[in-house]
Structure 1
Amino acid sequence: MTTILHIDSSARPHRSDQQQHGSHSRRLSARFIEHWRAQRPDDEIVYRDVGASPPHPVTGDWVHAAFTKPEQREDWMHNALAESDELVDELLRADIIVAGIPMYNFGMPAQMKGWLDNIVRVGRTFGFDRSRDGVPYWPMVTGNKSVVALSSRGDYGYDPEGRIAHLNFVEGALFTPLEYIGITDQYGTAIEYDEFADDRTHQSIDRAEKEVANIVNRLIVKHTTTDAA
């Protein structure tokens, strides 16, 4: 059985296919789950809405606790890391992470950055040893995990080789830290032209939804083969 961690981070609470001013990224992530369930209804879906319930930001106490050896932590340190532990456990259980991430001011929502800051964690998802030869860091997340970034943008031309690709700090800001901890199989698509509200918007929605279906099909083949191995 495949486990999917489905994350939404939009501040908008509804999907754009269900409400006029709903979220395009929520629409795409929901489409992914719908396509997946249609083919593999028994797989586990774990849902986390960081847009509605943001993780607590990393604090000095959090850092102090994270860099203290587990056997030496005091009670307050365990409390400081409790939410992070829950988020890391969800990540480690998942085979696929599907993240709806709208573009806000060229980057991801602060809520999603808060999630990343909580799961990129020394001793849990990456290792660190200053006495280690070469690079003192190494990834600790094992398994054949995949990540899918489903975004939305008001303007257009943010894809690689696009006219303003250099202004896109969404997908890279997700893929880079996840690759750092060991998740290197990466996919994504996005809806553009949202602020134009014309035929280009509708065409972009149609293209993105078709690409979501294509990604689902590719990952079903990949993870069915993995499950059978």
Structure 2
Amino acid sequence: MNLSMNLSMNLNKQRGQSMLEAAVTLGAATIILLLAIQFIWVFYASQFVQYAALETVRVASKTSMDNLTMQANFNYLMNKDPQWRFSYVTMTRLRPTNKELEAYPSNDLDYKHELLVDYAEIRMAGMKPEQQEQYLKDRILLVEVTACYPLKVIIANRILNAAYSSYSKNAACLAQDHLGAVTWPIRRQIRVPLHSPLRVKK
């Protein structure tokens, strides 16, 4: 009698342990699957940001586009596909800066400064070596884009948000988090040579 009771208790204990192990394994597998799905969405979102930024900067490098027009074009491309919705997007020209453009006064009455990029060798012929080096740097358009992508996969979004240190997020994405949206910051820098003058209006 005691033997059969002990066997029954052992079997129940083993069943309970097996069920617990199965539940833990299933839970872990579910979390891993959700994280994988969320990472795939983040990857595609980052590719979309890269595409929109690259297209905008390519056009900007050929059309003397100012910062506001460049930002407007970038926003248009970012909102073109309804599948992708970002809680915040911005585009900033890092180089050449307005300070660097001050070295290139404009002969046009409508502009204060004008960086001309055609006939580069002829223009550089009358420059000092350090001016030539700076001119070559200034002819490269460097732009940074930031987008805050909302994480929508349940559980995974909270895990990723907790794992991604708040110190690594920029202020805009942190502000979106405070508003209740769990976001993933996507930052890209795009560098292309200028093919048309870069001008600063008066």
- Length-normalised TM-score, structure 1: 0.23
Instruction: Give 1 or 2 for the bigger CA radius of gyration.
Output: 2
Q: Give the number of the structure with larger relative contact order, counting CA–CA contacts within 8 Å between residues 6 or more apart.
A: 2
Bigger helix share:
2
